[in-house]
Amino acid sequence: MIEQAPFGRTIHHSTRTLFGAAALGQVTQDEADRTLDLLLEYGVNHIDTAASYGDSERRIGPWMDRHRDKFFLATKTGERTYQKARDQIHQSLERLRVPSVDLLQLHYLVDPQEWEVAMGPGGALEAAVEAREQGLVRYIGVTGHDISVAAMHKRSLERFDFDSVLLPYNFIMMQNPQYAADFETLIGMCAERNLAVQTIKSIAQGGWDDRQHTHATWYEPLTEQAAIDKAVHWVLGRQGVFLNTVGDIHLLPKVLDAASRFEKRPTSAEMEAEIGRLGTKPLFV
């Protein structure tokens, strides 16, 4: 089983490894159902999906008919204006077959111009707040990628009292001085406000470049169990963060297995040796 921790200031104790449901974007319902069985086997009790994740919400919907009470359910809207975000929120509820979700997140809010639209008058944030007032969502979060995401999340928290953030976190990315500094500042803000910190890209090996894609992830992932163990254990070795799994159902068992065996964080020397052995490259530069 995977350990649990308070998910920020919500009343929910989530498994420290959350199911990243982007993995369900292009699978059959039968494959999705087998994935649910695996989540239940490991005790995973938190699902993170998005309107833009292909068929993910539709694949999760049938589970909610029987297992809604077993999961903290989160989704995302990538729309920037009030009306489009409002429409997408309602569409997500229909796809998920639920009257409400626990967490709604403004998705990939990094571009400064998009940020101004979403966070300004008539923006997506107004739709999220309205949905919360109507009881359609309980909490509101913000997500993003790229080197600038930590700094942009800090800006978002200065504008609105979000309940959670989501951003990349792995050993090689934290070797970027600017990203590491912005990340630490953001984490400090989250700790002061008791906000949930979700991390992604734990097992990113680098970009695909011109190589053929062998997995459903948009980045090249680690595939050896030993390498996945080190990457997952390094993330879980930092208290106060949650690890979102991988966007490929065939790698998911390895990530969950690694998380279930977590005891201590690998040293920096061990991680540097692993990077040298595998030729790992930063996903964002």
How do residues 29-76 score in pLDDT, each as one tens digit? 999 999 999 999 999 999 999 999 999 999 999 999 999 999 999 999
**What does the pLDDT look like over 139-154, one tens digit per residue?**
999 999 999 999 999 9
CA distances from 124 to 80, 91, 92, 208, 236 (A): 5, 15, 15, 33, 32
**What does the pLDDT look like over 91-133, one tens digit per residue?**
999 999 999 999 999 999 999 999 999 999 999 999 999 999 9
CA distances from 255 to 17, 111, 133, 146 (A): 9, 31, 37, 23
Euclidean distance between CA atoms 152 and 205, whole angstroms: 25
Domain ranges of the chain: 4-278
Mean pLDDT for 175-183 is 97
pLDDT in the model for residue 37? 96
The alpha carbon dihedral of 253, 24, 83, 167 has a sign of positive
Confidence check: pLDDT of 213 > 90: no
Cβ atoms 83, 118 nearer than 8 A: no
Crossing angle of helices 56-67 and 82-96, in 10° steps, is 50
What is the second-level CATH architecture of the domain 4-278? Answer: Alpha-Beta Barrel (3.20)
Find the farthest-apart pair of alpha carbons in the chain and give their distance in angstroms, rounded.
52
| Stated pTM of the model | 0.97
Mean pLDDT for 16-38 is 97
Euclidean distance between CA atoms 214 and 208, whole angstroms: 9
Confidence check: pLDDT of 208 > 90: no
Mean pLDDT, the chain, rounded, equals 96
pLDDT in the model for residue 1? 82
Cβ atoms 250, 23 nearer than 8 A: no
3-class SS string, the chain = CCCEEECCCCCCEEECEEEEHHHHCCCCHHHHHHHHHHHHHHCCCEEECCCCCCCHHHHHHHHHHHHHHHCEEEEEECCCEHHHHHHHHHHHHHHHCCCCEEEEEECCCCCHHHHHHHHCCCEHHHHHHHHHHCCCEEEEEEECCCCCHHHHHHHHHHHCCCCEEEEECCCCHHHCHHHHHHHHHHHHHHHHHCCEEEEECCCEEECCCCCCCCCCCCCEECCCHHHHHHHHHHHHCCCCEEEECCCCCCCHHHHHHHHHCCCCCCCHHHHHHHHHHHCCCCCCC
pLDDT in the model for residue 172? 95
**What does the pLDDT look like over 245-262, one tens digit per residue?**
999 999 999 999 999 999
